[in-house]
Amino acid sequence: MEEYKNYTIEICLKSPIITSFQSDTIFGHICWAIRFLYQNGENKLREFLETYNQEGIPPLLVSNGFPTGYLPKPVIPPITQDELDAFVGRENRIANSFKIKTIKKLPFIRKDSFEQLQIGTIMPLTLFKSMDTDYKTIMKDLEKEQGIVVQHNTVNRMEGKVKQGLYAQEETFYNTDARKFVIYLKTYCFSREELKTIFTFIGEGGFGRDKSTGKGYFTYDVNDGIDLQEAKNPNAFMTLSSFIPKENDPVEGYYQTILKYGKLGGLYAKGTPEVNGNPFKKPLIMFSAGSVFYDKEYCIGKPYGALLDDVHHNKGIRHYAHAFPIGIDLKAEDRYEDL
């Protein structure tokens, strides 16, 4: 069986961005980079994708991109009211109501705080206490990210006239010290030098929507190794990527879902004849990063999820839906104790 080499991709945005760094979108950009960069790129890409159909571990796993120093907050049951009253004080319910609601909705946890939780068992109370300690720091970091609605119009370049009136589009701008993201990657197909070539292609071409107008431009570093702490006695895993379980994958746990309307990129973005004029994939419901699932047989390297087919009329088009799992020790509810 092939063994993974682990890499951490450090991204530094140099322009506004519209599309977030989600694993399936990152994977799509990697595929188009393979297609354009390699000699006989179409065959190289086909061989790469076919490797996912073989027994063993997938040839490449990629996480979502997270703000540097952060991970997705584990999706677990909320703290009970009795625990909250004991910690905050019943008399402080109203005064702290905004803070409590905000903590429950925050999507990220500080990486160093998550590592402290990994030492023991992750429970609603310990998670809330950790988020409460870091609340001011997290809110300060969130203020560095600004979603701004920008007005655009469509111009007919041949006639020099406005083809479509103003329409609004939200773009995300970051302060200078908040432009950095981290992507985790495991692969036995590509060397560090090959990954540098691939991410140079992606970064210079732009990431996601409207990259042709300069959105999603970034520089990067590819570093050996992944600094993620696994629980000593895991009974579950948390996914760091968007994820759809395959048959027989564990599904007991806690999760949030996202509805994906995937759009093709590269040569297919404009709906070329190869895709029957349709640049859109079928809608998919995916578990979001931070979702957790019980699995007493979890071990490092165990694969979850799949590279989906039948997502478009063109049967050669696939959709990346593998988990990027990290082992956790999760407090088991009564109904899961016998799993």
pLDDT in tens, 296-338: 999 999 999 999 999 988 888 899 999 999 999 998 764 444 4
What's the average model confidence in pLDDT over 17-26? 92
Structure tokens at 153: 């119009």
Residue-level pLDDT at 158: 47
What's the average model confidence in pLDDT over 13-35? 93
pLDDT band at residue 151 using 50, 70 and 90 as cut-offs:
very low
Sequence length of the chain is: 339
d(CA 154, CA 66): 33
- The predicted model scores a pTM of 0.88
Q: Which stretches within the chain are classed as H helix?
A: 23-37, 41-51, 81-88, 97-105, 111-119, 124-133, 135-142, 192-205
Residue-level pLDDT at 146: 53
d(CA 222, CA 225): 9
- Directed axis angle between helix 23-37 and helix 192-205, to 10°? 100
Q: Minimal CA–CA distance to 304: which of 285, 279, 331, 327?
A: 327
pLDDT in tens, 204-223: 999 988 887 788 899 999 99
* pLDDT above 60: residue 339: no
206-212 long-range contacts, CB within 8 A, separation 24+:
206/15, 207/17, 207/19, 207/21, 207/25, 207/29, 208/17, 208/18, 208/19, 208/20, 208/25, 209/18, 209/19, 210/18, 210/169
Q: 14's torsion region: left (phi>0), alpha (psi -120 to 50) or beta?
A: alpha
Q: What is the mean pLDDT of the chain?
A: 87
pLDDT in tens, 231-267: 999 999 999 999 999 999 999 999 999 999 888 888 8
